[in-house]
Chain A
Amino acid sequence: MDHPAPAAQADAAHTGAALIYDARIEGGKHWSLTVRAGTLIRLVDLEGGANVGMLFFNPYNLLERYNAPDTLKCQHTFKLTRGHCLYSDMGRIFCSIVEDTAGWHDTVCGNANRALVRERWGLSSYQQCRNEWHQNGHDAFLVEGGKYGLGRRDLAANVNWFSRVHADEEGTLTYDAGPPRRTSVDLRFEMDTLVLLHTCPHPLNPVPEYPKSPVRVELRHSPPVQADDYCLNACEENARGFKNTELYRRCGAPAARSAS
């Protein structure tokens, strides 16, 4: 698959749409929202060095969730970037990556948990540190998921936006900090989706201080998908994924909400 240089993609057509809502999320926090098909979420790593852990669910059937292995094998990729679609376990597309100035996002390393955060950055309890405490991605997802009745049984492999992890020929994994600059990634939602997110550090981030890079989450309406859409045409698999998703949008999802 062809991936144009990040510079050529910056601030492309989608920013023309009016901003519906935006939120600044500090590092080490969590949030969630339900978005309708046709919503565009732009995630902005404001200073470089951010990590955004993310999980996706069908809000009408929480058993349908993001499936990282299906996403990777359907598109013959180990990384996520522009042109890739994020698949559910039901062969449908939650969202497409329509722009990306970062170029590589991880989906195989999961979250830091409490023990890992304590080992790498030291214990920093809420009692001691209030809002500066060292939250971890695993607990963050349990808290956000709990708001929708989700628990430990529902947490599958997540995306780590803005984090790069390479594998060499022997399979050895290496974390790459990437450039310390502002980057962004645009997610166009192809079906109604419950999004859980956290801004806790990537589990392989080696920096000595607990990283607290902020992100901005911007919501816009996306123009309809055209026949020459980059993600739709990125591979034959995605064309079939869009067909599956269209069937669900037209006949499966609640009608009042599926109109975009």
Chain B
Amino acid sequence: MIRESGLSPDAARHRQVVPAGEYWFDVVRQGQRFRIVDVEGNQAADTLMFCADDPAERYSFVDTLRAQRNVYLSVGSTLLSTEGRALAEIVADTVGRHDTLGGACASESNTVRYALEKRTMHSCRDSYLLAVAENERFGLTKRDLTNNINFFMNVPVTAEGSLRFADGVSGPGKYVELLAAMDLLVLISSCPQLNNPCNAYNPTPLEILIWDPDVS
């Protein structure tokens, strides 16, 4: 479902461009809204979320999908934690459908999906591992790198039970915006994948914007 946001980028308290192959890892406070912009189009934003007060409680795609009885994320989707609590709600979306089945790319899964020779290529999991290593204050390790959301990615499922990575339905300037239901740690990899047509073999930047609760 498409719904535009009424928030002005000029009123954002934080704006940051995240080039492909890099990460963004920070705290988003309860009541803040954060937007992820697909600046040039068809760029996957591989996103993990943790409860800031207790990071062992984190985003759970299985609980989220089961509760909403649907495999796709869009406006109205409540992102649930492993304890069944709301982490955030999608409040605006100019794409209409996002994936949470496909996981993050890793050099090891790239060897399986594409060729053994891809074993040294950069991946979202490498960005995640650097993020947790460079931000020890958050107390996370590889143990915490679980199943993520792929904003702007299109992974259709059929009634017969097949699944594929299709051409993106996103485009330049499209965005998704979330309202934090609790204090969150948000870790986003701007996907560096070069082997998949979902981003036209062309990884491009994301932009992150954050608004305080009292901004309208």
Interface residues of A (CB under 8 A from B): 63, 67-70, 72-74, 76-79, 87, 89-92, 104, 108-111, 113, 115-116, 151-158, 166-173, 203-204, 237, 240-241, 243-244
Contact = CB atoms under 8 A, between A and B. Distances in A.
Given A74-B113, A237-B112, A166 B65 contact: no
Contact of B159 (A77, A108, A155, A167): A167
Given A76-B163, A77-B163, A154-B143, A110 B116 contact: no
A244 B62 contact: no
Given A69-B103, A78-B158, A167-B71, A89 B62 contact: no
Interface in B82-104: 82-84, 97, 101-104
A108 B71 contact: yes
Contact of A156 (B65, B146, B155, B158): B146
Interface stretch (B7-15, B53-61, B181-189, B199-207): B53-61
Contact of B111 (A104, A172, A240): A240
23 contacts: A63-B142, A67-B147, A68-B103, A69-B102, A70-B106, A72-B102, A73-B102, A87-B112, A108-B71, A109-B62, A109-B65, A116-B84, A153-B56, A153-B143, A156-B146, A166-B161, A169-B158, A169-B159, A173-B69, A204-B66, A237-B113, A241-B112, A244-B112
Given A91-B106, A152-B56, A167 B157 contact: yes
Given A69-B103, A153-B56, A167-B157, A74 B109 contact: yes
Interface of B: 56-57, 60-63, 65-66, 69-72, 82-84, 97, 101-104, 106, 108-113, 115-116, 125, 142-144, 146-147, 155, 157-159, 161-165
A111 B63 CA distance: 8
Contacts of A108: 61-62, 65, 71, 101
A166 B125 CA distance: 29
Nearest to B108: A91
